[in-house]
Amino acid sequence: MLAILSVYAIFRLFASLDAAAISEKLVGTVPERLAGGVLIGLGALFLVQALAQVIVILSGQTAPASATLPTLVADLITTPAWIVGGILLWRKQPHGYLSGVGLLFQASMLFVGLLIFFILQPILYAVPFPTSDFMVIFVMSLVCFIPFGLFVRGIAKS
Residue-wise DSSP of 56-121: HHHHTS-PPPTTHHHHHHHHHHHHHHHHHHHHHHHTT-HHHHHHHHHHHHHHHHHHHHHHHHHHHH
In a domain, 36, yes or no: yes
pLDDT at position 35 is 94
In a domain, 5, yes or no: no
Domain that holds residue 136: 32-157
pLDDT at position 63 is 61
Alpha-carbon distance of 55 to 78, in angstroms, equals 19
pLDDT at position 118 is 93
Q: Please count the structural domains in the chain.
A: 1
For the chain, give the mean pLDDT. Answer: 87
Average pLDDT per block of 10 residues along the chain, 158 residues long:
74 81 86 94 92 84 67 86 95 91 91 93 92 93 92 87
Task: Tell me the whole-structure pTM to 2 decimals.
Answer: 0.85
In a domain, 108, yes or no: yes
pLDDT at position 128 is 93
In a domain, 11, yes or no: no
In a domain, 17, yes or no: no
End-to-end CA distance of the chain: 37
